[in-house]
Structures are given as C-alpha cells and as structure tokens.
Amino acid sequence: MSAGSGGRAAFSHKTAEIAVAALLLLLGAIAIFDSARLGFAWGEDGPQPGYFPFYVALIICVSSLVNLVRALVAGPGKSKTFVEIGQLKLVLAVLVPTAIYAALIGWVGIYVASVLFVGFFMRWLGKYPWWKVLAVSAGNSVVFFLIFEIWFVIPLPKGPIEALLGLN
Amino acid sequence: MDEIQSLLHGFAVALSFKNFALMFVGVILGVIIGVLPGLGGANGVAILLPLTFAMAQTPGGTTSAIILLSCIYWGALFGGAITSILFNIPGEPWSVATTFDGYPLGQKGRAGEALTAAFTSSFVGALVAVVVITFLSPIVARFALAFGPPEFFAVYLLTFCAFVGTSKEPVFKTLASMMLGFALASVGSDPVTGTLRLTFGSTHMLAGFDFLIAVIGLFGIGEILLTLEEGLAFKGASAKINFRVVLETWRRLPTYWKTSMRSSAVGCFMGIVPGGATPASFMSYGVARRFSKDGEKFGTGQLEGVVAPETAAHAAGTSALLPMLTLGVPGSPTAAVLLGGLLIWGLQPGPLLFVEQKDFVWGLIASMYLGNIAGLIVVLTCVPLFAAILRIPFSVIAPIIMVVCAIGAYTVHNAIFDVWMMVVFGVTGYVFKKLSYPLAPMVLAIVLGDRAESSFRQAMLVSQGELNVFFSNALVGSMTALSLFLLLWPIVSAAIAWVRGKRSG
C-alpha cells in the first residue's frame, strides 16, 4: 500500500471489516433460511438436501459473528486506513467502466464494447491522442476477432454492428 | 523399476513435434501471463482453458492440451520472478518473498545475477518436485485404488482442515471464506437427489457457480484493482543477462546447496499438503534466514534470499499436481483449474487415471521435465523482451487484460451472466485480499464442494448414518484424526502461547 501519498482515508479498516462481516452474516442467514426450507435433518436414507448447506451456512454465520465482534471491539487506535480517497478514485475509475462494459457486452457485443472500453481507458486515464486510441482499441478487437472467431472457431457475443457488417 | 519404463514411454508421447512446440508456446504465454499484473497461473490457465476444448477432442489431444496448460503454469511460475527482481512488483503472490532480496540486488546493478539465480533455483525446485511426482504418485495412486467414499471424504476433510491449521490469516476469516466457497458450490442442484438449492427461483443460478469464473474474477480483476492503488507507473531496473553472468552465477550457486535442498523439501511438502506455493516461499525464506551464516544480511540483497523462496515456490507449485492427479484433490488454485480442465475433457482425475490413461499421465509427467527445461531456456534468453511488456503503460494494458478476463469468463459457458459474476467476484477478491480473508480455500471449496458432499453422503448411506465410519479402519481413522488435530491446532497453539505467557509473566 502506498504509505507515502498520505491521502485522507475514504474508509477505515474497521468500517470495512464490519461491513464485510455483516454482509457474510446476512448471506449465511439467507442460506440457512433456504436450507431449512429443504430440510436439514437426517432422513431415512441419510442427510436431507439441506443438511450440508445448513451447516456450511451455520459456520459462515458463527465465523462472521466472531469477525464482527472482533472488528467492533478493536480500538480506534489500531484502526488503519482501508483505502485512501485518491486510491478509491482510481479503483472506481476502473471498476465503474468495467461494470458498464460488462453490461454493454449484452447489447452491442463484446468486440464493440471492448473498442469503447479500451478507447475510454486510453483517452481518459492515459490521455493519448485520438489516432493512437483508435488504433489500439480497434486493433485489439480485430486481433481477438481473428483469434476467436476465425482461428479457434469460438463464437463470442456479437451485436447489431457485426450483423450490419455481415460477420455473424 | 516400472516407473522408469512408464516415464520413457511418456517421453515418447511428449516428444512429438506438436507437443514440443506447444511446450514452448505454453511457456512463453505463461511467462507473459506471469509478468502481467492481474494475470497469473490460476486465472491465466482458466482463461485459456476453453481454447483447448476443440484440441482435446482429437486423438491424443488431451495430452497436448494438458501439456499446453501445464507449461503455461510453469511459465507463470518463472515469470513472477522477473517483475519481483526488476520492478519490486511481485507478478505472482508466491514471488513476494523474492522481492525481499531480489529487488535490492537489482538496484545494485546485479539484476542479471538475481534473475539467473531465481530461474535456476526455480528449475531445481521444479525438478525435485517432478522426481517426487514420478516415483511417489504411482504408489499413492495404487494405494488410493482401494479408497471408498469414507476415505475420499477424509482426504477432503484433511485438505480443508490443513488450510485452517496452517493458515497465516485469522482462523475465523479462513473459515468464513472457505464456507462461502462451499455455499457457492452447493448452489444449483443437489448432487445426490437433484433437488434445487439456494437458487431462489433464478434461472441464472440453476447451474451453480463455476469456479473458473470465481478464479478469473478473484485473482484477475481483484489483482488489477489492487495494483491500481499503487499508481499507474512502473519504474524498474533494466534487464540484461549475458552469458558470462549466467556462468558466473551458476558457479556460485552450488555453495547454496543446503538452502536449495531445504527449500525443495519445504516446497514439496507444502505443495502436496494443500499449503500452496505462497506460504512455501515465505516459510522457506524464513528457514533460510535462520540457518544461513549471512542470515542477518537477508533483505539487503543476498543471492541466497532469492534462491530459497524461488526453489520452494516452484517445488510447491509443481508438487501440487501430485494429489490432483492421484486423488483428484488439487493442492493449489492452479492445480484446481487444471483438474477442472481434466473433467471438462472427460477424464476422471484420481487413482484410476494411472490405470486407464497411462499415455496421458506419463506424457504429462514427462512434459514436466521437458517443460521446465524449455522454461529455463526461454526465460534466460528472453528476459529483456518480457521486461519490455511491463513498460507498456498501464492505461493501455489494464483494459486489455480486463477484456481478456471478460472473454475468458464468457467462453466457459457462453453466458454473459458469467461476465457480470466475474465483476462481482473481482470486487470480492479486492476486498477480501485487503482484509486478509484467504482466497485459496474459497476457490478449492467451490471446486471440491459437490464432491466432498457426495462422498460424505455416500459414506453415510453405506454406514446408515453412523459417523464412526470415519474411524472404521486405520487408514480413514488416522486421516480423520489428523484432520481434527489440524482443525483444532489454532486453539491448541493459542493455549500453549497463553500458558507460556502466563508463566513468563
């Protein structure tokens, strides 16, 4: 972790610990609920379908409770920074476009989405001139198209633009 | 010596022109994967796995496919050292310990020596592990032929309890992460009765979570997010290895033979027992520091401090394939991905593999010898080329890696939902890594969850619900007992520490 930058903390380590432990506790509870619906007792022919997930979820809940209590008890003096604001901005600057990218794949296909994604990255974070942005982002998709569709014959999701070009 | 004969036969299989070419392709791809941030052995192999589907359908193709994938793995193991020594960025978790002495050496202008030492000791570690695999795995496999469901469950239990007992992370975090993996594995249809579980009416969840998606997200996207925090620029020493430096380093290396042997032993042990390459490298670095006469100089650029972790990491990474092949229980996430590959190609890993698929097994083992020689040649000659990859600006390489991960996630099941899941797993990996929730037990739980559950329930059907079936004979009993001991070890060691603290205080 870059200790030298000395930015302000976006979250403390403690907050993050508590949030994760609580989330896992919730997930465990949901799983317990569904296992109880299926039955977690011993049937006539061994354990019922819910048996295994029930105990697994129970251990999740117990461990998360311990983690939660530990995080809550930990004094503020020990509290470290989980992520600094500057770091969080960088992480989100990648994460948000990635999420949008994943959503775009379904609409316009993976090749067009990748051109947009790589292009956005290079232009916004790398500040490259447009011609370089275009060359790399389009070139990247063309190379992947050749590798997957032509060489390995593995079809990847395609959208309306490929249909227009007759590449489907 | 049956093994020698089988091995010679394996060399005949592995030495076809096609397989030999695949070995070099695999190693080169692997090193590139190892050098790039966010791509590593586990997710690199996971992404490239779908490309082998077609290859595996041709006659003898499964052998070629496993040779390609395992060589990618060897390459990734080699590649991690390059970034550690030149850039102080461990390309792989198991090369973190290599940065301690490798990077200072690079800063002193001795990068060539450090790299040569790292590659050579990786090679030595791998070689020791392959020899162990050659002679030990037929024995283990023969032994395991007699295994029934209780024995298999005991092996799974041992695997997971070993994570709890040997983990450096807090015990309850290890448990939470592992059980989350088991819960994810149980989503979908119940392996025994087919009842739908934990799907909540969603059609996307019917098939359950594929661990390949988890691996790509957790290790790929998560790793990139972590790397981002460090900033966007890489600054590093320049890399040149000339032949004279190589020879000089090779002349000095034999003086570290003791460190080498110790590290190989630590590595093999940690690889077979599911500890994995990363703890092995740290442990071996610590052991070497304690036993070396230059121990206090460790961390300032000692060649020995590069030899120790690299030997152990490679030995552990290689020997992790032994339980995968003989028992169907992988010792590391990458071994788990390879196991997934075997299943997809229609091979059942486990003791029967050694009886029914002799060509495949021995071809693979022979290719381990050859692949590591190929790896050593490739890395020694092409370091400047691989180092140049890291000079590609992050704002160009990062989105391309993301695209590669997305394509990899999509091709597993041709499902766009998987790409979304990959992003979710990516965030999980990032947060878990920062809060020191270990990822390896979670991945192995996703892989083995269904089979651990089936073997448990089959054992229960046989014994009509009596738990004492897990103590019914010496073999299964000792494995169960050892598992319970490992599971309780954190409590025992905490109690010992407490008693000691009381006495001294």
Q: Is A138 part of any domain?
A: yes
B391 touching chain A per CB within 8 A: no
pLDDT at position A6, please?
A: 47
DSSP structure class, residue B89: -
User: What average pLDDT does this structure show over B337-343?
Assistant: 87
Give B372-387 pLDDT, tens digit per residue.
898 898 888 887 787 7
How many angstroms separate the CA atoms of B485 and B503, rounded? 25
Confidence class of residue B275 from pLDDT cuts 50, 70 and 90?
A: low
Which among A16, A52, A64 has the least Cβ separation from residue B453? A52
**Do A121 and B224 make contact, defined as CB atoms within 8 angstroms?**
no
Tell me whether residues B229 and A1 touch, CB distance under 8 A: yes
Question: Does B491 reach chain A within 8 Å, measured CB to CB?
Answer: no
The ipTM is 0.89
Domain boundary (A49, A82, A115) is at A82
Are the Cβ atoms of A106 and B416 closer than 8 angstroms? yes
Nearest chain A Cα to B445, which residue? A56
The B residues from 49 to 88 touching A (CB cutoff 8 Å) are 50-51, 54
State the count of interchain CB pairs (< 8 A) between A and B.
172
Beta bridge mates, A47: A42
At CA A84, angle to CA A81 and CA A90, rounded to 5? 145
pLDDT score, position B237: 58
What's the CA gap between B136 and B325, in Å, rounded? 11
> Which residues on chain B are in Cβ contact (under 8 Å) with A53?
182-183, 186, 197-198
Residue A113, domain extent: 84-165
- Torsions phi, psi of B164, nearest 5? -70, -45
Prediction pTM value: 0.84
- Report pLDDT digits (tens) over B2-11: 778 888 888 8
Give B-chain residues touching A122 at CB under 8 angstroms.
Answer: 395-396, 399
Out of A126-130, B117-121, B241-245, pick the least confident. B241-245
Phi, psi of B196 (to 5 degrees): -80, 135
**Among residues 151-180 of chain B, which lie with CB inside 8 Å of chain A?**
170, 172-173, 175-176, 179-180
Q: Is any Cβ of chain A less than 8 angstroms from the Cβ of B197?
A: yes
* Strand-pair partners of A109: A158
* Alpha carbons A156 and A100: distance in angstroms, whole number: 18
User: Chain B, 245-264: which have a CB under 8 Å from a chain A CB?
Assistant: none
Do A74 and A96 sit in the same domain of this protein? no
Does B457 touch chain A if contact means CB atoms closer than 8 Å?
A: yes
> Token pair for residue B108?
């002193």
Mark whether A95 and A68 lie in a shared domain. no
Ramachandran sector of residue B292 (left: φ over 0; alpha: ψ -120 to 50; beta: rest): beta
pLDDT digits (tens, 9 = 90+) for B413-438: 888 889 999 999 999 999 998 888 88
Residue A2 in this model has a pLDDT that exceeds 50? no
Considering CB atoms only, which of B179, B231, B461 is closest to A63? B179
Query: What is the three-class DSSP state of B198?
Result: coil
Query: Per the domain annotation, does A1 fall within a domain?
Result: no
Of A16, A90, A122, nearest to B228 by CB-CB distance is A90
- As for how many domains chain A has, the answer is 2
In terms of domains, do A97 and A53 share one?
no
Lowest mean pLDDT among A17-31, A42-56, B129-143: A42-56
A30 and A66 belong to one structural domain: yes
Which of A83, A110, A126 shows the shortest C-beta gap to B410? Answer: A110
- Which chain B residue's Cα is nearest to A43? B465
Q: Over the stretch B80-104, which tens digit does the pLDDT of each residue have?
A: 788 778 877 766 667 778 888 888 8
Which percentage of chain B shows pLDDT scores above 70?
A: 95
Q: Are residues A142 and A114 in the same domain?
A: yes
B156, B423, B435: best to mutate for the A interface, most A CBs within 10 A: B435
Same domain flag for A97 and A136: yes
| CB burial of residue A146 (10 Å; 0-12, 13-18, 19+) | exposed
Which chain B residue is nearest to residue A91, measuring alpha carbons?
B225
Best B88, B179, B424 residue to mutate vs chain A (most A CBs within 10 Å): B179
Q: Where are the domains of chain B?
A: 2-504
Query: CA A48, A54, A59, A65: dihedral to nearest 10 degrees?
Result: -160
Scanning B412-441 for CB atoms below 8 A from A yields 414, 416, 419-420, 422-423, 426-427, 430-432, 434-435, 437
In a domain, A4, yes or no: no
Closest among B453, B426, B444, B414 to B340, alpha carbons compared = B444
**Which residues in A lie closer than 8 A to residue B221 (C-beta atoms)?**
98
Confidence (pLDDT) at A5: 42
Supply the pLDDT for residue A1.
Answer: 37
Least confident of B113-117, B309-313, B327-331: B327-331
What distance in Å separates residue B263's CA from the closest CA in chain A? 29
Q: How confident is the model at residue B440 (pLDDT cuts 50, 70, 90)?
A: confident
Quick check: A20 and B435 CB within 8 A?
yes
The Cα of B56 is separated from the nearest Cα of chain A by a number of Å equal to: 13
Buried/exposed A69-106: b ≥16 CB within 10 Å, e otherwise: eebeeeeeeeeebbbbebbbebbeebbebbbebbebbe
Interchain CB contact of B395 with A (< 8 Å): yes
Angle at which helices B17-35 and B2-14 cross, to 10°? 80
In a domain, A3, yes or no: no
- Residues of chain B positioned with their CB less than 8 A from the CB of A152: 51, 54
Q: Could you tell me if residue A26 is inside a domain?
A: yes
What average pLDDT does this structure show over B312-341? 85
The C-alpha atoms of residue B325 and residue B128 are separated, in whole angstroms, by 17
Q: Which of A12-26, A154-168, B138-152, B342-356 has the lowest mean pLDDT?
A: A154-168
Please identify, among A82, A107, A128, the residue that sits at the C-terminal boundary of a domain.
A82
CB B406 within 8 A of CB A110: yes
Contact criterion met (CB < 8 Å) for B398 and A117 = no
Residue A4 has pLDDT above 60, yes or no: no
**Is residue B364 scored above 70 in pLDDT?**
yes
Q: Which residues of B touch A157 (CB under 8 A)?
A: 410, 416
Whether B350 shows a pLDDT value over 50: the answer reads: yes
Q: Is B465 on the interface with A (CB under 8 A)?
A: yes
Distance from CA of A117 to the nearest CA of B (A): 7
Question: Domain boundary at A47, A63, A82, which?
Answer: A82
